[in-house]
Amino acid sequence: MTQPLKHYLQFTSLTADEYAYVFQRAALIKKKFKAYEKHHTLADRTLAMIFEKASTRTRVSFEAGMYQLGGSVVNLTTGDSQLGRAEPIEDSARVISRMTDLVMIRTYGQDKIKNFAANSRVPVINGLTNEFHPCQVMADLFTYIEHRGLTVHPLDCLKGKVVAWVGDGNNMANTWLQAADMLGFTVHVSTPNGYEVNPAIAGLSNSDCYKVFADPMQACEGADLVTTDVWTSMGYEAENDARKQAFADWCVDSDMMAVAKTNALFMHCLPAHRGEEVAADVIDGPQSVVWDEAENRMHVQKALMEYLLLGRQ
């Protein structure tokens, strides 16, 4: 079976029902990977990866994942392609999508990836933009579900839960809001003044899916999951000094974890800065699942790539 052309540009690009399928499939793909069983559903398919910003996890998880599916990968960066020499994004999309089966892009503005997708013959996946990081939140949700015990209906364990977001109102925060809106949990958001989330970017259908707290401790109270991210995202480096001052009280530490539920998990998309957005004893402590999160990027993205190209198996 093949799919009609379908892109994954933000969390809302798939429905809850599609996430339930992709998570079940990711669990199977992960199990086979652990057992060294071949799973070559994308043999002879090629993934083009375009990186306009740095990456470790996204690069390795997509590249290793595509090889494990029997396919191959072409890697382009701004510096080593015509993308960095002002070839229009529309022309790049037309050309790249005639030679490959799937494209993953990490770039700056969401408008750029939207424009690429509008001119692409093949599915386009968002590997991070200034506005969203949907592959990461998909992996985080899968990790949460896995730690709570995968069930027949994997999304059930998310309903009514509280996710505390401590830190910048950035691409990860926007994506968490979209996930909460769709899947029925609540995000307790605490950011310094001037770094708030902008719900208009997330395009929420229901503003009840998040609550704003001035005090990060209050945001963490009773949370099922506490999560944070770097104070300065890629592309905002010029603001680094100002951000270090503004975010000083937004470090997830053991006091914040102590007011969350006793079985609360800690997540961070990584890379992390110990002593800034998270204390070392939290990220390296027993409630932290950051390494599972990182690994699960690969398993969920394999399921996603397979779904975008082949549909349900």
Q: How far is CA 100 from the centre of its chain?
A: 23
Q: Which of 7, 268, 297, 299 is catalytic?
A: 297
Task: Give the contacts of 102 (CB within 8 A, at least 6 positions apart).
Answer: 45, 46, 47, 48, 122, 123, 125, 305, 308, 309
Say if residues 252 and 166 touch (Cβ distance below 8 Å). yes
* Least distance CB 175 / ligand CP (angstroms): 11
Residue 204 vs 283, nearer CB to ligand CP? 283
Q: Which of 7, 229, 251, 299 is catalytic?
A: 229
Residue of 105, 150, 146 lying closest to 125 (CA atoms): 105
Q: Which does 296 bind (CB under 5 to 8 A by kind): ligand NVA, ligand CP, none?
A: none
- Known catalytic residue: 136? yes
Q: Which of 135, 220, 251, 269 is catalytic?
A: 269
Residue among 3, 56, 206, 313 that touches ligand CP (CB under 6 A): 56
- Known catalytic residue: 274? no
Size of the site for ligand CP (CB under 6 A): 8
Structure tokens at 17: 């029902």
* Least distance CB 65 / ligand CP (angstroms): 13
- Known catalytic residue: 106? yes
161 binds ligand CP (CB under 6 A): no
Q: What is the CA radius of gyration of the chain?
A: 19
* Least distance CB 50 / ligand NVA (angstroms): 16
58 binds ligand CP (CB under 6 A): yes
- Which residues, in sequence order, are bridge partners of residue 50? 76, 105
Task: Give the contacts of 31 (CB within 8 A, at least 6 positions apart).
Answer: none
Residue among 137, 269, 278, 303 that touches ligand CP (CB under 6 A): 269
Between CA 288 and CA 212 the distance in angstroms is 24
Say if residues 108 and 130 touch (Cβ distance below 8 Å). yes
- Known catalytic residue: 209? no
- Cα dihedral: 101, 107, 111, 112 (round 10): -60
Residue 57 vs 302, nearer CB to ligand CP? 57
Residue among 57, 161, 243, 299 that touches ligand CP (CB under 6 A): 57
Say if residues 132 and 126 touch (Cβ distance below 8 Å). yes
Give the Cβ contact number of residue 273 at 10 Å: 14
* Least distance CB 77 / ligand CP (angstroms): 13
298 binds ligand CP (CB under 6 A): no
* Least distance CB 177 / ligand CP (angstroms): 18
Which residues within the stretch 117-156 sit at the binding site for ligand CP (CB under 6 A)?
128, 136
Say if residues 249 and 279 touch (Cβ distance below 8 Å). no
Active-site amino acid positions:
106, 133, 136, 229, 269, 297
Residues that bind ligand CP (CB under 6 A): 55-58, 128, 136, 269-270
